[in-house]
Structure 1
């Protein structure tokens, strides 16, 4: 579906799918988003297109993970920590020309926290008691309990500001306030965006950008080499990076992500409800073999659901070290012999390649697997929403998201009242030292319960034309932020 309000630059872009030069860029992406509404979808690929480009929130993440002003130029917190008053920027309009004001903020936050909300991160808004427009440029958000992370929560892609006039078409023709506006979505091939000349902030250097979907690693390599794409921020063929490093036409950009890559386990699926079986699975896994075999050495082993670059990280990899004999003993103790589990794999290479390696490792301790390769939309419906699975492999790329383990309805269905109380305490704690201790305790609890098989922190391995500047090295959130991207002469 195409937005009919196209700029002159956008019409020019539609004449070709890959313009090279000083004001256009084509980026490769492995996965095509199932829709383009970040407030109603769980797929990381949505934010990879729209975050900071089309849509903006009250706050936003910078390339170093810092929380920065967004549509709110400033905010104040009441002494009791219960009320956040946001000052909105003046003169901001949506891409359809309508004004963005306090009423849109009220609409967006009320919609996200509503009982029938389909927001994938609805927990971000659970503490909101009321949202009130004090004036066109001032909004008060009252919380039911203090939340020192609230400004951080508002920086997520799930918390962007939308308008009632255009929300019904957000899935296919998004209308935001960002520096780029939506042009077209050619399903199965690409999404095109163009510079928003009415943008309230600094104009981006790029006039046009195309996100081209290339899931096959070999095709991605060929597209980069041929110049059909200018950059591939999350390159799916790490085994070829050495060739790009040796070619002066390219830069290889290696950084870190927030992506905890895990063997997600359905904690309510038959024998997997037994912690001894989950522990056996954890000890059957050789993380380094998976990192080497699926990621060609790119990735940092993890033993819990927390990013190693976070100062609060605890290295618990030794607690679930590779020990197949222990796995066999635990399975025998649990009476789980001749076990067959369904392993559902989404499209990314880390899942498909890693799944084959894990299946072989599990087979060595007496666990058979039935592998099903799912397309992304099918994975969302069957695994994430339907909870119809035993095991799956996925990278959780949302920042600082250990709180998902406090949601019994979440897809791996972990229900621990003590952990839920711990996260509730964390959510109302603002003292940094106390937050550190609570974060460490939370990591230990889920490691002790062997909720999932913790594999590795996903590395950000990107390739770009050497003349491109401003692409993010690290990924503090799932985004291809083009606001600072430009070409060198």
Structure 2
């Protein structure tokens, strides 16, 4: 964070120059329908209660946060038009946009933001719960268009805590005093975004339409959005090829299809739009019981899995092997950690030295229900672990079932991939802090990793007021986490967005397709 300012300013200047050139050549056209894919079909669209990828993709058109972020990781206005930070780093003041309404016509105000931050997300959101409990002293609304956050102590990543999935602003008038998880509004989401829900035909499509009362005059350009539900990966590729859908996001089609589709006429692609997220794939082992409570078993599994094979042969080169808890694009990443090269003989020796008889354990592996590639990875992992002598069964579930079981700690082994959010205090620490072993979310410390030393180092890094202090604390934390194998890290994802060239201005921030599409338009 401490060195982003100059680099970010330069990148921002280049972005502005490029945008200005594009605008001079083409004038946005109003109207049109954009067809996309929601894969898999999301269990709900309420971003405050579910932050799985498909929910964010669709829900990002309905809900908004105070800020968004550029490809250079610099904060940009959203529901907050400006912000100020006190010299001591303890007071953050946000001034809100004017004339914002909820989709039901009710006025949006600072009270909604205070409710979201101080009530709703404290109860329902693992990252915000942790931030609020550790750092936030008070949240107040001195006026209808101003919100003030006062911190107990400095938190260098605080300005990065307002990305959509971290801080979706929720309508107080619909949720205050209710059971958030059973509120009927979860099925008819009401936000401030450029599009509102028209119809959800389960198993077929989600239909959003233009918000005529949107707070940006003249926006959005598009009239309608359709998110098509197409369960089969091959059929999704055909749908794009035939023009039934206009956009494919990372994971919509198989890796080998990506190679083919990007070469089609009138098609363009990009890997940008993931700068904020830096998605990292890992295998989560439930450490509450044997065999995974034994560190040597976790180490053995690291050696038994060829991470380069997974990247090259299962995900067709779209990524690179992970070395630990920090993605290489995240601030304070260090490669100076214990390495776990693929070595089956070493894996077996670790188990033997620890006195572990793998045949004594029957283990269930629950893959992510996100398509054939994840199923193939599950088969590969089963094959490798079976070679060590463990009895492995694959336990298939749908997206809702996976979220529920992981949230309830009802698993032996499962896959997950989570976002880093640029700052380790936001996207990384949540998986390892003892205080974040909390039921109700699949994105916390679900494996039950407990280490007071790591807790202290992560806290030190988050509260550091100098880059040197943060760098040292995070480097030491990474070394301990990798030696403990707190999670079994697999690879850093690389996602490709593919779209028809007629779709303009699709990826223009560091959160890519999760950014609300009020600037997207279709050329005639």
TM-score (norm 1): 0.89
Q: Provide the C-alpha distance between the structure 2 equivalents of 1:236 and 1:316, rounded to a whole number of angstroms.
A: 35
1:277 corresponds to 2:297: yes
Contact 2:363/2:391 (8 A) holds in 1: yes
Query: Match for residue 386 of structure 2?
Result: 363
1:118 to 102, 115, 124: 124
Between 354-363 and 74-83, report the one with greater CA deviation.
Answer: 74-83
Q: Provide the C-alpha distance between the structure 2 equivalents of 1:216 and 1:174, rounded to a whole number of angstroms.
A: 27
1:26 corresponds to 2:35: yes
Measured after TM superposition, the shift of residue 450 of structure 1 is: 0.7
Show structure 2 runs of 5+ residues with no match: 1-29, 176-182, 439-444
Query: Match for residue 187 of structure 2?
Result: 172
1:377 corresponds to 2:377: no
Query: Match for residue 21 of structure 2?
Result: none
Question: 1:327-360 CA distances to partner (integer Å, 9 max, x unpaired)?
Answer: 0001111222224321111211342121111111
Q: Provide the C-alpha distance between the structure 1 equivalents of 2:232 and 2:207, rounded to a whole number of angstroms.
A: 21
Q: How does 1:210-221 map to 2 (within 5 A)?
A: 210-221=226-237
Q: Provide the C-alpha distance between the structure 1 equivalents of 2:200 and 2:512, rounded to a whole number of angstroms.
A: 23
Measured after TM superposition, the shift of residue 477 of structure 1 is: 7.1
1:483 corresponds to 2:508: no
Question: 1:208-267 CA distances to partner (integer Å, 9 max, x unpaired)?
Answer: 111122232112112112221111112331111232133213223334552101111112
Query: Match for residue 87 of structure 1?
Result: 95
Show structure 1 runs of 5+ residues with no match: 1-20
Question: 1:390-420 CA distances to partner (integer Å, 9 max, x unpaired)?
Answer: 2111211352411111123421111111111
1:249 corresponds to 2:278: no
Between 255-264 and 373-382, report the one with greater CA deviation.
Answer: 255-264
Measured after TM superposition, the shift of residue 316 of structure 1 is: 5.8
Contact 1:38/1:158 (8 A) holds in 2: no
Contact 2:326/2:428 (8 A) holds in 1: yes
Question: 1:107-155 CA distances to partner (integer Å, 9 max, x unpaired)?
Answer: 11112354xx122432243222221110111122122222121121122
Q: How does 1:47-196 map to 2 (within 5 A)?
A: 47-51=56-60, 53-114=61-122, 117-121=123-127, 122-126=129-133, 127-167=135-175, 168-196=183-211
Q: Provide the C-alpha distance between the structure 2 equivalents of 1:351 and 1:313, rounded to a whole number of angstroms.
A: 26
Query: Match for residue 439 of structure 1?
Result: 474
Q: How does 1:345-360 map to 2 (within 5 A)?
A: 345-349=367-371, 350-360=373-383
Contact 1:27/1:229 (8 A) holds in 2: yes
Query: Match for residue 389 of structure 1?
Result: 411
1:451 corresponds to 2:486: yes
Query: Match for residue 441 of structure 2?
Result: none
Contact 1:293/1:353 (8 A) holds in 2: no
Q: Secondary structure at the match of 2:301?
A: helix
Q: Secondary structure at the match of 2:166?
A: helix
Q: Provide the C-alpha distance between the structure 2 equivalents of 1:480 and 1:353, rounded to a whole number of angstroms.
A: 30
Q: Provide the C-alpha distance between the structure 2 equivalents of 1:31 and 1:433, rounded to a whole number of angstroms.
A: 43
TM-score (norm 2): 0.83
Query: Match for residue 364 of structure 2?
Result: 342
1:329 corresponds to 2:329: no
